[in-house]
Amino acid sequence: MTLQQLKYFIEIANCGSINKAAESLFITQPSLSNAVKDLESEAGVELFLRTPKGMTLTTDGIEFLGYARQVTEQMSLLEHRYTSRKPSRSLCSISTQHYAFAVNAFVNMVKKSGADEYEFTLRETRTHEIIEDVKTLRSELGILYLNPFNRKVIEKLLRESGLAFHPMFTAKPHIFVSSANPLAAKEYVTPQDLEEYPCLSFEQGEYNSFYFSEEILSTAHSKKSIHVSDRATIFNLMIGLNGYTISTGIVSADLNGDNITAVPLQIDDSMEVGWIAHSAIKLTRQASMYLEELKKVIAEYDIIVND
């Protein structure tokens, strides 16, 4: 088993296709296919499922990918430290619900990475897709929340996917509104205060279950409801239509300016925000760095961060 084989394997896993990986690696498709077959033979397991649509990792392949990434990362660090060779580009992929603090931490991680070359990915996406991304190692980490309503369903899905949830902090629900909204001046709001305002939420696509909603009170009836797919749009609608959404209360002035404010929502509920990852796979250095930056960003808002 060679380092070159591991690099080939990782590239196919990233691309999801032998042809695309071969183009990226500047080798022929038959040579790459043979290298992977040799690797599978030596490892004694099938690493990929071959389908007309491309290559997907098997359960053994997912576990193998975690170890392969660690080996290639450590080799890159050794080369950089002792041979002055340029290290391989740093890789890191994060999938998250639509949280500004997750973006802030990503920005800080990239700035502090110190890598000459890198390929980082930040996906603000739907709840079910976050779990699928981490399950298939398309992303190393996922950021989402649990509360009394969705906990049993989400935790069951995580267990079935071989993933573990690591809580970071518990937040009391807030609404996000435009600073010009009459609700912005209130010390707190109640569900009754919200009745005449448009309720804004992130649509969940094919898996549009209440349990996958990014907003609590997803089963509550709203006279005016608008579903959107990205954070920029939801903030524009807060300003343009005096709409509101429900979230953690952490507003980033760096990313959103002073146009959006958070107001406590007086209900008996809470949101436990945390990160998910494969239970049996050690995090890469870059992913660990991201988590450290995430803790620092959250701590800036006087929220107690779980160790």
Give residue 57's pLDDT.
Answer: 86
Q: Which two tokens stand for residue 238?
A: 């807060």
pLDDT tens figures, 39-72: 989 889 899 888 877 788 888 888 888 888 878 8
Joined together, the tokens standing for residue 47 give 């690493």
pLDDT at 114: 75
Looking at residue 116, what is its pLDDT? Answer: 74
Given this model, what pLDDT does residue 136 score? Answer: 81
Which pLDDT belongs to residue 207?
Answer: 78
pLDDT for res 218: 83
CA 52 to CA 69: how far, in whole Å? 26
Q: CATH code for 170-271? A: 3.40.190.10
C-alpha distance from residue 109 to each of 69, 114, 119, 134 (Å): 19, 9, 12, 19
Domain boundaries, the chain: 3-169+273-299, 170-271
Indicate if 170-271 has the same CATH topology as 3-169+273-299.
Answer: no
What pLDDT was estimated at residue 79? 67
* Cβ contact 8:35 at 8 Å: yes
Q: What is the pLDDT of residue 63?
A: 83
Q: What is the pLDDT of residue 84?
A: 59
- In this prediction, the residues of the chain whose per-residue pLDDT falls under 50 are none
Q: What pLDDT is stored for residue 299 in this prediction?
A: 86
Q: Which residues pair with 274 in a beta bridge?
A: 144, 167
| Fold (topology level) of 3-169+273-299 | Arc Repressor Mutant, subunit A (1.10.10)
What pLDDT, on the 0 to 100 scale, is given for residue 241? 95
